[in-house]
Structure 1
């Protein structure tokens, strides 16, 4: 028996939930046969996807199944049925899951059924197993080292904002001078972006502190267009003791390890942070080997150190 997927029209409520710049509907459509809801979506890394907004039943294996075959079904779920895509996908990936706060994200659609909670535990890129995503009561975190920080939202923006107050490099604490009014954040906590992006002035102070803390001769990145500005010869860097880098969010200090702050290969290792004039990001490398819980009802994000291979 085949899978029946319903393609949605431009006049459907989910299609109207798309941003105007993503929806490829004519301004004047037929009143007899409404156009299908084609969309185009592009990311900052220049990857893109074209498809048709569609509806189907989502089925997930339950965390309670153990040896039993148990699944959870969510009928009439909206998703993008892709027909053209280009990006950094490999043979093991087929697309992107929307975990943001937008009207069509998976999290918003599941809503009350998952108590507006989800969590993940991201594995290092060298791992040969897969990271886990949990929903509802199975997403709630406990344990030693658990810290929580308020989450902030912006109108028409599906991102999750946190308030970053300072960064410590060893014993040196650098205060974030990017002032934000009460009720607003200043950095996006994101599982899609890879690096930590900081405002240029703040980044320059952090980079200088890292450079001072590591008494090694820095080398230039072989790619002049690269985001990486502080790099070292991997052979010498691997012999250097780990430095302590702490991100101080409002009410929560998150201590990062080398796996969270440096990225490299057998030749060159670089600080996995970059300067930006846009929104700062706390990307997925910084979240490796942390359980991270998003509680949209309580408006908080929680972190607890973990070995994600055991999660």
Structure 2
């Protein structure tokens, strides 16, 4: 017995020395029982794998406009799949449909070789779906397909913590969707792209900053063995899968259980912030206490988990002047698709009749200002003005989305796009797009606001905040 105790004591000392050595560079902890923080990266941040330094600001903005159009189409066709759109217009939009604005870098698996115990991937944050998935190297098998990916395909069979879910034994198995004895999944997209594979439990590592990471075991995810994706980021090879944050039981917020208690939060920095566009996704007790936040109801329809987070939008104001937009324009009633809070969408997409009223009233508002000339940049925002001298966001009005129970006040930095030009001039545009169907309140309009989603209470809490301060 004494020899056994001596061996155990020696092993403990070695383990302590090993941990102390490595903790000088990176701190690894098991997930706290009541909270979690994950670093999010904007796709146009220099830290993003999508960052293209050769692109101009206007080119990046144009790509985000296409992404917003496609995101709106994606949400709308999920509700009304039998509607028909012009095929050429559809093709130009679906090339960007799955490209979420924010990504999370996560580690997946447990491996004994190499400097890290997991393999790191960038997953697109998506509040409009609940499944977490990435490509597995079994997609190289005969008869299966992989889309281009720069990061290594996940080698599931080499991970000691990988476990496929056994059919009819796990609550997260999709009904009547098994391959042999194991649970499977299939995700379909509006351009007939698909991802199919097995559902498995695995250890995930989440990064809260460059030196802090937390390990969370038994996360159920889709291990994709057959992918046919035609979206542009798949062709660039920087995309590896999705991190679902939706209503359903497969979403990360639900799987975290008591660590999240059904709550997650973010506070997005403005695109013009020179400190960067990163932010934090916080769960449970890691969510900062913000007394006095007002709330609106979160809604879902027909028990569909992948429809996104609906809210009741009642109207819009310009400089505190309420516009005459009927609330029915924003309701979920065919052919209109309701209103969704969607941080994965870059710029808000406003149902066309409401957008036309907003644009018309802004034209009246700007007609009272001197030194403005309306311009129409090709394939850009609809409403733009050239100014005789640079003014930045000065003399631009705030806009307000009137939600049931709370006003989302959007300052000019979140309502307008401003671009400097030669000769000491600049131009500005309304940073929103019209759409025939659903209304999305996108991430550009969500900046400098604290959002707390409480799925159990079915509430969204909102309040203004400087998101450059430890968001």
TM range (shorter): 0.7 to 0.9
Tell me which residue corresponds to 1:150: 297
Match of 1:246 in 2: 400
2:280 to 128, 132, 142: 132
**Which of the two has greater helix per residue?**
2
Cα 1:62–1:74, aligned 2, differ >3 Å: closer, same or farther?
farther
Deviations 1:61-97 (CA, angstroms, capped at 9, x unpaired): 679xxx9x77352314224548665334888864432
Instruction: Judge conservation of contact 1:121–1:308 (CA < 8 Å) in 2.
Output: yes
| Equivalent-residue separation in structure 2 for 1:263 and 1:204 (angstroms) | 18
| 1:273-302 deviations in Å (ceiling 9; x for gaps) | 222222211111111121111011111111
Q: C-alpha distance in 1, partners of 2:309/2:233?
A: 23
Change (3 A) 1:234 1:148: farther
CA distance in structure 2 between the partners assigned to 1:203 and 1:177 by the alignment: 12
- Which runs of 5 or more structure 1 residues have no equivalent in the other structure? none
Rg larger in structure: 2
Does 2:265 match 1:119? Answer: yes
Give the corresponding residue for 1:232: 385
Q: Secondary structure at the match of 1:301?
A: strand
- Deviation of residue 266 (structure 1)? 3.6
Deviation at 1:242, TM superposition (A): 2.7
Change in CA separation of 1:173 and 1:84 when aligned onto 2, cut-off 3 Å: same
The answer to whether residue 323 in structure 2 is matched with residue 174 in structure 1 is yes
Per the alignment, residue 345 of structure 2 pairs with 193
- Distance apart, 1:271 and its partner CA: 1.1
Partner of 2:443: 284
Instruction: Kindly indicate whether the alpha-carbon contact (under 8 Å) linking 2:347 and 2:444 is maintained by their aligned counterparts in 1.
Output: yes
Q: How does 1:39-78 map to 2 (within 5 A)?
A: 39-42=186-189, 50=195, 52-55=197-200, 56-60=202-206, 71-78=214-221
SS of the equivalent of 2:382 reads coil
Sort the Cα spacing of 1:273 and 1:53 in 2 relative to 1 into closer, same or farther, 3 A: farther
Question: For residue 261 of structure 1, what is the aligned residue in structure 2?
Answer: 415
Comparing 210-219 with 262-271, greater Cα deviation is found at 262-271
C-alpha deviation, 1:14, in angstroms: 4.1
Secondary structure at 2:374's aligned position in 1? coil
Matches within 5 A, 1:23-42: 33=180, 37=184, 39-42=186-189
Which residue is equivalent to 1:275? 434
Q: Does 1:204 align with 2:356?
A: yes
User: Any conservation in 2 of the 1:290–1:307 contact (CA below 8 Å)?
Assistant: yes
Deviations 1:165-194 (A, max 9, x none): 12110242124414359xxx9411111112
- Residue 3 (structure 1) aligned with residue 159 (structure 2): yes
CA distance in 1, matches of 2:434, 2:452: 27
Look up the SS of the partner of 1:218 in the other structure: strand
Distance in 1 between the 2:320 and 2:310 partners?
Answer: 27
- Structure 2: which 5+ residue stretches go unaligned? 1-111, 113-157, 422-426
Residue 110 in structure 1 maps to residue 263 in structure 2: no
Q: Contact conserved, 1:123 with 1:289, CA < 8 A, in 2?
A: yes
Out of 51-60 and 276-285, give the one that drifted further: 51-60
Residue equivalent to 2:77: none
Could you tell me how far apart the structure 1 residues matched to 2:317 and 2:449 are?
Answer: 19
Instruction: Name the CA distance, whole Å, in 2 between partners of 1:208 and 1:39.
Output: 44
| Structure 2 residue matching 1:96: 3-state secondary structure | strand
1-structure distance, mates of 2:387, 2:239: 30
How far, CA to CA, are the matches of 1:257 and 1:165 in structure 2? 19
- Partners of 1:96 and 1:237 in 2: CA distance: 41
Return the alpha-carbon distance in structure 1 between the equivalents of residues 388 and 194 of structure 2.
40
Cα distance in 2 for partners of 1:235, 1:102 equals: 51
Aligned to 2:9: none
- In structure 1, what is the equivalent of residue 51 of structure 2? none
Q: Confirm or deny: 8 A CA contact 2:349 2:433 kept in the other structure.
A: yes
Cα–Cα, structure 1 residues 260 and 207, in superposed 2: closer, same or farther, change >3 Å? same
TM-score by length of 2: 0.53
TM-score, normalisation: structure 1: 0.76
Aligned-pair Cα RMSD in Å: 3.6
